[in-house]
Amino acid sequence: MSVRSRVRSNAKPADLGGPVGNFPEIKDMSKIITIDELKTNNSKSSIWLLIDGKVYDCTKFIDEHPGGDEVILAESGKDATEAFEDVGHSDEARALLPEMLIGTFDKNSKLSTAPTSAQKAIEHGSNMMYFIPLSLMGAYFAWRYYSGA
């Protein structure tokens, strides 16, 4: 039975085989998920979305998504709140969310991964800021020395 038809059948959570419906593998919904964990679940094999402070595992749902798989994949591993809200998803769509809930986002978690290319470019730029004047000074003194000035 698909995720959508289970919700449509008006089954209550208790009828669905536990607190998280027919997903017995999802047990700990109070799990705190950091930005690093969220970011690494960003491919077709594991798709996590952050919506309104909660993290959802949409890996199984992606093939059933009426809006297609690409839009969800594009948001995977990210904060998809704005994208989700912009579409104006129906109450039925929102009712699907609890089944995919896997945890709460850790708002205090910071990016601990390698610097982005923009950060690297800035760092590279500031290194050049010292390198260029020093090289020019070196060249000037070398010129003075060799020209006997």
Give the integer Cα–Cα distance in Å for 88 and 33: 26
Q: Is 90 exposed, middle or buried (0-12, 13-18, 19+ CB in 10 A)?
A: exposed
Q: How far is the CB of 30 from ligand HEM (least distance, A)?
A: 19
Q: What single letter denotes the amino acid at residue 106?
A: D
Residues binding ligand HEM: number (CB under 6 A): 20
Which residues are CB-neighbours of 109 under 8 A, at least 6 positions away? 34, 35, 36
Residue 2 interacts with ligand HEM (CB under 6 A)? no
Give the x/- contact pattern for ligand HEM in 95-114, rule: CB under 6 A: -xx--x--------------
Residue 48 interacts with ligand HEM (CB under 6 A)? no
Q: Tokens 């910071």 label which residue? A: 110
Nearer to ligand HEM, 95 or 132 (CB): 95
How far does Cα 103 stand from its chain's mean position?
14
Residue 49 interacts with ligand HEM (CB under 6 A)? yes
Residue 6 interacts with ligand HEM (CB under 6 A)? no
Residue 84 interacts with ligand HEM (CB under 6 A)? yes
Q: Is 108 helix (H, G, I), strand (E, B) or coil?
A: coil
Nearer to ligand HEM, 87 or 129 (CB): 87
Q: How many other CB atoms are there within 10 angstroms of residue 96's CB atom?
A: 20
- Output the residue with the shortest Cβ distance to ligand HEM: 67
Backbone angles phi, psi at 103, to 5 degrees: 170, 180
Chain contacts with ligand HEM (rule: CB under 6 A): 49, 56, 58, 65-67, 71-72, 75, 80, 83-84, 87, 89-90, 92-93, 96-97, 100
